[in-house]
């Protein structure tokens, strides 16, 4: 399957269809990325990455965390630990449950991360990849300094990441894998 074919999978939320390619780590310590947008925190569970998703010129930091298959959702203490690793504080603002059409297991909860006085809304989504692995994605959307799309700006992302002195590693392998269940666009 070509990279172009692999990129054609969909997440449906209402009338909005997002198309993107999920690339996964080739080996421990290696980074598979689209445009130098994947990062890895040393203290995160094995298989976890932070990626910046580019969508029509805007950028969304996404933390992907591999968890035990029996874990159905990230609890507040899990997100607190994540926030601690990111160097931010985490405040709960309640739960949002949402069902995605024909997907395996989904639960979405919303929290607020506070970083240098800026609040970020966090959508916590669980999903299973095509090998049955259990993952959570935490999409961090800037709440105060956002652009018209609601996504964090690239400058804001770079400033956020530079505080942690994260190392960007180039893609060294041609290993691609769909990270989410394919959903028909129609």
Model confidence over 132-181: pLDDT tens digits?
Answer: 555 666 655 544 333 334 444 444 444 444 443 332 222 232 222 222 22
Flag residues of the chain having pLDDT under 50: 1-45, 49-60, 92-108, 115-116, 118, 142-186
Domain locations in the chain? 38-162
Check residue 65 and give its pLDDT: 60
Check residue 72 and give its pLDDT: 58
How far apart (Å, rounded) are the C-alpha atoms in residues 136 and 64? 6
Global pTM reads: 0.36
Q: Residue 121 to residues 10, 42, 68, 152: CA-CA distances in angstroms?
A: 23, 24, 25, 11
By the 8 A CB rule, do 35 and 170 touch? no
How far apart (Å, rounded) are the C-alpha atoms in residues 20 and 55? 9
């Amino acid at each position: 399957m070509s990279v172009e074919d692999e990129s054609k999978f969909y997440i449906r939320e209402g009338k909005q269809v997002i198309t993107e390619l999920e690339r996964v780590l080739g080996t421990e310590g290696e980074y598979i990325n689209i445009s130098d947008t994947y990062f890895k925190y040393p203290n995160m569970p094995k298989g976890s990455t932070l990626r910046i998703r580019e969508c029509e010129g805007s950028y969304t930091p996404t933390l992907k965390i591999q968890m035990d298959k029996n874990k159905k959702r990230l609890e507040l203490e899990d997100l607190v630990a994540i926030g601690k690793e990111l160097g931010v504080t985490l405040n709960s603002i309640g739960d949002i449950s949402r069902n995605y059409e024909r997907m395996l297991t989904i639960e979405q909860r919303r929290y607020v991360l506070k970083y240098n006085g800026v609040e970020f809304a966090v959508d916590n989504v669980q999903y299973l990849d095509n090998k049955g692995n259990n993952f959570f994605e935490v999409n961090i959307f800037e709440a105060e300094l956002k652009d018209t799309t609601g996504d964090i700006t690239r400058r804001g992302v770079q400033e956020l990441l530079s505080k942690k002195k994260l190392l960007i590693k180039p893609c060294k392998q041609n290993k691609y894998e769909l990270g989410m269940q394919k959903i028909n666009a129609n």
